[in-house]
Amino acid sequence: MSQQVDYRDLRRTEADNYATNFVPLIPAPLADDLIEAAAPESGEYVVDIACGTGVVTRLAAERVGPTGKVVGVDLTPEMLEVARASAAPSGAVIEWRQGSAEALPLADESYDLALCQLGLMFFPDRAAAVSEMWRVLSPGGRVAVNVPGAMPRLFEIMADALGRHINPDLPGFLRAVFSVSETELRRLLDGAHFQDVTVKTVTKALRLPPPAEFLWQYLEVTPIAGLVLGTDDGHRRRLEDDVVARWQDFVHDDELVLELSVAIATARK
């Protein structure tokens, strides 16, 4: 019988590892682009939905300054624990709240800007989450969302190897990561009655650690970590050997280079 994977089920260990080993590699570089697209202004009230350990939340706090307000909302208590433990930036005081994207613990029309980085693809009800963004925004408020684009070849290789060497269900997690298209982003925002919807895709060249190191850094911060690490040494070794050999085409100067397409959507209420 195949095992079901809860893609949102992160434990404290994974949350710590996520902040230390994964955020600097992918979320942090993408956060800068999302903040530039959103353009938070001094004194604004901002909510960061699916804030994780707070990389976007902190950037927003710096932009809105001491007269603004920033709330980071995440479903996972362990992520919020790590976020709270991190040094606060200069700027707005940050409030961390546990809550679902589909039922935000926030009042109607109370924020100027809603942000969501690398989270929408995991929400069980994406339309409900986007409708919640609309609900909590004041008239004229803005939203900025980013999601990964099409699955790059580097991740296709990892998905294939996970399915062959570990568990045939595991590629489903990686497919979920890359499951929101530009078309769906626009449809979701239009369906929630947002105006001035724009969606653009940019390509980021991300320099990552060498193949074996990145493979395990990535897998260890995902909800499938337990299934992968719980297999025997032989299966893990075959997974690593397969992936590392096939990733050699993406190695430059001893670093793995990921060409990642990212869709960034902005709109106004």
| Total domain count, the chain | 1
**3 state SS for 187-202:** HHHHHCCCEEEEEEEE
Q: Domain of 259?
A: 14-268
**CA–CA separation, 168 and 5 (whole Å):** 12
* Interval 200-209 mean pLDDT: 96
Per the prediction, the chain carries an average pLDDT of 93
**Residue 188: inside a domain, yes or no?**
yes
pLDDT of residue 249: 96
Cβ pair 146, 262 in contact under 8 A: yes
Running DSSP on this structure, what letter comes out for residue 20?
A: I
The yes-or-no verdict on residue 6 having pLDDT over 70 is no
How many of the other CB atoms lie within 10 Å of CB of 8? 13
CATH number, position 164: 3.40.50.150
**Residue 2: inside a domain, yes or no?**
no
* pLDDT digits 0-9 by tens, 33-43: 999 999 999 99
**CA–CA separation, 155 and 157 (whole Å):** 5
**Residue 26: inside a domain, yes or no?**
yes
* pLDDT digits 0-9 by tens, 83-109: 999 877 788 889 999 999 999 999 999
* pLDDT digits 0-9 by tens, 52-89: 999 999 999 999 999 999 999 999 999 999 999 987 77
**Residue 7: inside a domain, yes or no?**
no
Residue 214 tokens, joined: 């990145």
How many of the other CB atoms lie within 10 Å of CB of 267? 27
**Residue 82: inside a domain, yes or no?**
yes
Quick one: pLDDT band at residue 8, thresholds 50, 70, 90?
Answer: very low
Q: Which of 3, 13, 26 is nearest to 155 (CA)?
A: 26
